[in-house]
Copies of this chain bind each other. A is one copy, B any other.
Amino acid sequence: MNEFEFIASQLKPLAGSFAGALNLEDDAAILTPEKGQEFVVTTDALTAGIHFFATDPPRLIAQKCLRVNLSDIAAMGAAPYCYSLALMLPEQTSQGWLSEFCDGLRADQNDHNVHLSGGDTTSTNGPLSVAITMIGTVPAGKAVKRSTARIGDDIWVTGTIGDAAMGLQALKGALPTIDAAARHALVRRYHVPQPRNRIAPTLRHVATSAIDISDGLAADLGHICTASGVGAQVSASKIPVSDHVLSLLNTSAITFETILSGGDDYELMFTANPDKVKKINILSKDLNLKISKIGRLTADLEVGFINQDGRMLTFSSNGFRHF
């Protein structure tokens, strides 16, 4: 199967009803903005051996590549619109592999109402790489940025933190005592993040800033603080963790710092004025999604975590410091 056959048989159906894709037969796709809307654009590149294992199921690789981009769109308070796919394939990539990869894209496209708009398929002498540029739409002026958090705002996170990082540790064999059910659940969180796009339309009305947690909770909170010129104080005990992670913490298999610095969760962290607490709790119930208040923004420019035993940890780009 050459590039053109692959595009015709596997990729064109993914452009589907999106007229702007021009049936993937042109030099570029056309994006027609609706009145009062603007676009947001994000790119994430993933490479075998770095961001996933070359032997991971192709369906999961496809979904991870799409979902890390969907997560960025959610963090801007935007709705997914279309995406461009750059696929750099090793020569030996089989038709079956490509077909399963496209099945993964299709499943997530349907779940998130987003279409393939175009891209490029090339060969590589190296590992498989996938670069996706996703475009979302948002009412003009309403995108949620990192730089607009305010001192005194509450800090919130969705879901549970640390599962994906522990899933990666389990895959690497670093958690030998873990039971099979916990291992499965954590590895799944690593393989297929659950981007929080359902919350995005409301995020625009409650959040003063937002980010998706890809580098780790501490680092990503640092990104908000740096961009907004504020500091933060977080109660470590309020950071939501799953039962599996709690067990690992209780048996001292891992430290709390590894939860704070572990990436790949793709939960959303956002800040909001304290008068939004009630609205956010209702939202949490409506979406059946845990949303936890973990701390508050401060004038002091440090990002500090109050540990379970009352000690303070501060986080800088060099990692944690104990006081």
Contact = CB atoms under 8 A, between A and B. Distances in A.
A4 B317 contact: yes
A75 B22 CA distance: 14
A196 B29 CA distance: 19
Interface string A115-149: 00111101111110101010110101001011100
Nearest to A119: B43
Contact of A25 (B33, B129, B212, B227): B227
Interface string A21-56: 010011111111100001111111111011100000
Contacts of A84: 41-43, 133
Given A28-B78, A29-B41, A43-B85, A50 B146 contact: no
A86 to B, nearest CB: 4
Given A4-B317, A41-B117, A43-B84, A25 B122 contact: no
A127 B51 CA distance: 16
Interface string A228-267: 0000000000000000000000000000000000000000
B41 A72 contact: no
B120 A44 contact: yes
A320 B129 CA distance: 34
Nearest to A38: B32
A43 B118 contact: yes
A76 interface: yes
A4 B88 CA distance: 25
A129 B124 contact: yes
A145 B22 contact: yes
Nearest to A32: B38
A32 B118 contact: no
